[in-house]
Amino acid sequence: MATEESPLLSEALASTKHEIVYQRFSPTYKKFLVAIVSWCGLMPLFISGTFYPTIPTIARDLNTSGQNVSLAVSLSVFAAAVGAFVSASYSTFYGRRPIYLFALPLSVVGSIGVATSQTMPQLLFWRFWQCIGASPGLVVGAGVIGDIYKLEERGSAMGFFFAGILLGPALAPPVGGFMASYASWRIMQHLLGLFCLVAFVIILLAFPETSHPGARGIDKVRQSGEVRRSWLPRFVNPLKPLDLLRSPNICCAVVAGFFILLTDYVLIVPIAYTIGKRYNIVDEALIGACFLPSGVGNMIGAPLAGRISDRVIVRWKKKRGGIWYPEDRLRATLLGGLLLAPLSVLGCGLVTHYVPGKVGLALNMLFFFFNGLGVDIVLSPIAAYSVDIMHSRSAEVMACANGSRSLLLAFATAGIMPMINAYGFLATTALSAILTWMGFGLLILTMYYGEEMRAWADVGYSTSENN
């Protein structure tokens, strides 16, 4: 009799242990942790968002062209990708807290360097380190969310996390434009360094390690009895997260997310030379204000999509008799991927080309809002889905997704201005819309054939028992 009950007893103990690991922190303290990692996740977007409307001012200050200064945008995206890979790999081995404590000072120093730059090479050099230091914000932050929230709560938590960090697109451009217009773009860079310093102090004093006990690579090394005699840190392959691209599910999610996010960059990177030029907006503060509708859309879309995706998971799990099918979460992306993101970017191209005056500007702002809404209705569930299927490597899968997207965006954003100059804004937005619909097709493919696709390459997928 005992032998017949032992498996059931083992399952019960495993289930209890699995529940306890998510009860290490109180609900209030979990919200505090989400606020901290959202602050850190906000920084890279604030660093980039305050830069866009100041491109003409920086170009005049450094005696160069706006197209040359826009290279700093591509460089910052590339730096974010490199930093994401490195920080995710080392956070899996050493934990979340040490990565924040190491990276944030780099961003502080980089921000001061950008603020004091007198030439383009100096600007690009310090911009790289500024963005490297801020890069753990998104990938390690998502890993923290996966550490402290269980499956049925993760989508909502991820949504609030994204809503917090997407204050960047909402507030950064107006703030950056205002500072450039009424003070100096250099003062804004000093302030960014101060914000990173404040985050560093808070984490140093009040942020615990959130990785599951015994789950870090260093914990496994210690359990094996291996003794490290060198004081140097262990080398961890920073490209290890890219191994996850062997999974067709993750690969499709990365490409789809890239096409969706590209619509945002097509609108915001050249805004001073498209919307600004078409509607005679030359003041940096006003150009920055044009970003607000997109940011508001981001802030609404992220928590909305997260909550909807959690409900979708619970509802479809119930329909399937308690069986968890992770791709059900992608059903929450349908509205954003099919309609809002592609039609909004195409609408901006058409309106800018054909509709002059205040009516045209107002319509563009409306489409900016729908684009921000649509982009996050897609990206938030994709992020939660990625953590769901690779829970034990949550930071790495986020680095794989965001780092790969950033590498692609680094090349894509470098080509946005030349393409607009060569073919026009309308043709550029039309191409972006077509690519978005292609990405939506990949999400549909993953949603319906996810289980079969996961069987093609086993990269260590999570199950309902360990998620």
Find out whether 188 and 176 touch, Cβ atoms under 8 Å. yes
* Sites in the chain below the pLDDT cut of 70: 1-19, 169-170, 225-233, 465-467
Give buried/exposed letters for 177-192 (b at 16+ CB in 10 A, else e): bbbbbeeebbebbebb
383 Cβ contact list (under 8 Å, min separation 6) = 142, 158, 162, 398, 401
Distance CA 260, CA 383 (A): 13
Angle between helices 394-423 and 357-389 (to 10 degrees): 150
* Residue at 291: amino acid letter: F
* Chain-centroid distance, C-alpha 361: 28
Contact 85, 138 (CB under 8 A): no
What's the confidence (pLDDT) of residue 15? Answer: 53
CA distance 268 to 348: 11
Torsion angle defined by CA atoms of residues 18, 20, 26 and 29, in that order, rounded to the nearest 10 degrees? -50
Task: Return the pLDDT at 16.
Answer: 58
Residue 273 Rama label (left phi>0; alpha psi -120 to 50; beta): alpha
| Alpha carbon distance 413, 410 (integer Å) | 6
Residue 221 backbone dihedrals phi, psi, to 5 degrees: -65, -45
Q: Are 74 and 281 in contact (CB under 8 A)?
A: no
What gap in Å lies between CA 42 and CA 104, rounded to an integer? Answer: 13
Q: How many residues does the chain have?
A: 467
User: Tell me, what's the pLDDT at 288?
Assistant: 73
Q: What is the DSSP string of 103-134?
A: HHHHHHHHHHHHHT--SHHHHHHHHHHHHHHH
Domains along the chain with CATH numbers: 24-208+239-456 (1.20.1250.20)
d(CA 166, CA 172): 10
Residue type at position 40: C
DSSP secondary structure of 359-412: HHHHHHHHHHHHHHHHHHHHHHHHHHHHHHHTGGGHHHHHHHHHHHHHHHHHHH
Q: Which residue has the tokens 């150009």?
A: 287
d(CA 461, CA 450): 12
